[in-house]
Each structure stands twice: as C-alpha cells, then as structure tokens.
Amino acid sequence: SIALNHKRIRAEFPALHQQVHGKPLVYLDNAATTQKPEAVIDTIDRYYREDNANIHRGIHALAERATEAYEGARTRVAQFLNARTDREIIFTRGTTEAINLVAQSWGRANLAPGDEVLISHMEHHSNIVPWQIACQQTGATLKVIPIDDHGQLDMDKLDELLTEKTKLLGIVQMSNALGTINPVATITRKAKAVGAKVLVDAAQSVPHLGVDVQQLDCDFLAFSGHKIYGPTGIGALYGRLELLEEMPPYQSGGDMIKSVAFDGTVYNDPPYRFEAGTPNIAGGIALATAIDYVDQTVGLANIAMWEHELLTYATEQLSQVKGLKLIGTAERKASVLSFTLDFAHPLDAGTILDRQGIAVRTGHHCAQPVMDRYGIPATIRASLAVYNTKADIDALVVGLEKVREFV
C-alpha cells in the first residue's frame, strides 16, 4: 500500500466534507469532473480580489500582473506536457474546444475528397462529431477502428485502416467510458509511417497518467482543466509549432491579430492567433495552481500508484456483487469502473445511490457508440481520484446491495 496521507489530502478539498440527503458525500464521479483543492479556490479568489485586469494590452500595474500570471500559467502547462516551447500551448475552454479548433482550422485547410480521418470506436462524442462535421465540409471520409469485447482497440484492424489516405488519426489516450489506456506512442509511430497527423484526446489521461508530448510524438493533444482539479471553462491544446504556424485562425477578433485594416488584416503568431477575445484569465492562472498541486504537492507518480491500487481493490470488491457486470476489462486501464446490474436499470441505481450520498454517473457518458458496441443503453460509472479511499468503494458496495433491496 502506498503512503498517501488521505486525511491531509481530503482536508484540502472543501466540497468533500458535506452531507447529501443526510449522508456523508461519497464522490465517485471524477471522470465527469473533479473537486477543487483550497489552493485552486484561493488562486481564483486572490486573482479577482487583487489582480483583475485585462491582459496583453494594459500598461498599468494590474494589467501587467495579470498578463504575467496568465503567461506564466502557459509556461507551466508547457512544462507539464513537456512541449518544446510555450508557443505550442493554446488556451481553450477545454478538450471539446481544442478538438473543434483542430478540426476547423487544420481540418478544413488540409482535408479533401479522397482523404480519410481515422478515429476509434471508444471516442468521446467530442472526438467524433467535430470530425463528422469537418468531413462533411471537406468531402473527406471518417473511418473507425473497432474495439474488442474487453474494450481494447483492435490493433490488426488499425493496421488495415491506416493507409496513405489517412490524413489524421484522432485517438483517446484513456477512455472515459471504459477506463482503457491506449498505446498512443505505438499508434503514433504507425501513423507517422503513413504520413498521418495524430491528435490525442488526453482529457482523462492527463490527470491520471500524465503525458509527455515529445515521448508520445503526437501533433496535437487536448485536455481540460476541470478534470485535473482545476476550474471549468479552461483547458489547453498542444500543437506542434510547425503545424500551428501554417494553420489559419479558428475564431477571430481582438488579440489574434498583428494589425487590422479594411484592405487586409495580419494575423498574430501562434499561440495568440488561436486565442481571439478576452480569455478565461482566472481559469488559466488557477489551472497552473492545479498542475502544481498534482505535479508537486502530491506527485503524479503517487497519484497513479494510489489510483491503481484503488482500481484493483474496487474491481475485486465489485466482482463480488451478484448480478454486476463490468464493462471494460482491458489489461491496461485506470480509474474507471463502468458496469451494469441485472437487477436494476442504471438510472434507478444512480438515483438510489444518490439517496445514500453516493455520487456516480449513469448514462452513455458521451460515448454512445461504446454503449451500442456492447448492446446496452447505459452503464453506471464510478470513477476515482486521488482523494478516494477504500472506504468509498466499500460504501459503493453497500449502496449497491441497498439498490438490490429497493428495486
């Protein structure tokens, strides 16, 4: 067992210490969003109390402080992902906006009839729909890598589907619906061999595994702040600088230009070319605090080790629940337990668990094709974070036995 001081860690998250329907909260919906530590809440509070100003333009003291903190946060994100330069980091609203940016800017400029975009059957809707739209707009074709009964990519089919026609491969590093971890570095190597660009959806992997864009050798990588103990409404896109330099703007307006005239406007350099308008300044700064929390205060290696131990424990405990079927039993997985019950519909189970103070997610988890693949309408999903303990899992198991009694 690894030595995380859970009393101390849990003390840092105010939202965990409350009663729900008269029961102590057991928060197991971390794949949807994580709770925030005091440090993150303090950063937001302090920013609005002391430094609030618009960035990049002001010459007064507050504007300089706000700009410095926001650009410092960009540097922190770049370090965390091991990007080559800060200029490869574009702040976005989150993973969804980051993928839309690539699909609309890179996609529309680089896709044509006859080209193919390859994604997998386990993608989140946010790595499916933007590519459907980009393909409709450009005449390119969307192809899908199948998954097996355990929720793993069919690597033979991947090899078949990856051809000279493939212009971009979009792949989730860790599935939010199944927990599967995909071998992204291997996949990237295969994609490079046919000249395809690679976009990684790292919404779930960044908080649990950590990522290194140079080691993965990907071209684009997207993640969301709110899944890594940071605020909502902020996230980032990593893009290889050579590609960003050639890409047209996504949105347009203030800050993304060098000069504007009615007979011609000169766009700014990356990353600013892709950051039109006043951004989520407090969010960006607090995202850096969240990264410090994960990377320094606790340590990503410690988080990964603890969550692995907890996942193993939870898998064993849930396997003892009669009538429970785990969906997603990949050899390599993290932090997600998706399951069905032969005695209750997921929605009813979720409601009964909530009455006991246990927060899980029920539904298709924005991954409807995954549900279709297994012929189920929905699952119940318990997902783990650093502050979860074995007691939370025990509470879930007791909660599920109550579900059996009630239905």
> Which C-beta is closer to ligand PMP: that of 67 or that of 106?
106
Q: Which residues of 388-405 are buried (b: 16+ CB within 10 A; e: fewer)?
A: bbeebbebbeebbeebbe
144 SS3 class: strand
- Among 406, 400, 402, residue whose Cα is nearest residue 323: 400
Nearer to ligand PMP, 335 or 356 (CB): 335
Q: Is 172 in the site for ligand PMP (CB under 6 A)?
A: yes
Residues with catalytic roles: 366
Alpha carbons 348 and 362: distance in angstroms, whole number = 9
Residue 366 as a binder of ligand PMP (CB under 6 A): the answer is yes
Task: Say whether residue 120 binds ligand PMP (CB under 6 A).
Answer: no
Cβ–Cβ < 8 Å for 16, 36: no
**Does the footprint of ligand PMP cover residue 201 (CB under 6 A)?**
yes
| Pairwise CA distance, residues 16 & 12, whole Å | 9
Which 204-233 positions form the footprint of ligand PMP (CB under 6 A)?
A: 204, 224
Kindly state the DSSP code that residue 173 receives in the 8-state scheme. S
What letter would DSSP give residue 312?
A: H
Question: x/- string (CB under 6 A) for ligand PMP, residues 22-61?
Answer: ---------x------------------------------
Q: Which of 89-97, 102-110, 279-287, 390-398 is the region at the interface with ligand PMP (rule: CB under 6 A)?
A: 89-97
Stretch of 9-17, 93-101, 295-303, 337-345 contacting ligand PMP, by CB under 6 A: 93-101
The residues, any chain, with a CB within 8 Å of residue 389's CB and separated by 6 or more, are 6, 10, 310
CA–CA gap between residue 98 and residue 89 (Å, rounded): 11
Member of 30, 95, 356, 362 binding ligand PMP (CB under 6 A):
95
- Rank residues 121 and 356 by Cβ distance to ligand PMP and give the closer one: 121
172/326 with CB nearer ligand PMP: 172
Backbone angles phi, psi at 8, to 5 degrees: -70, -45
Q: Does 203 bind ligand PMP (CB under 6 A)?
A: yes
The one-letter amino acid code at 233 reads G
- Where does this chain bind ligand PMP (CB under 6 A)? 31, 94-96, 124, 126, 172, 176, 201, 203-204, 224, 366
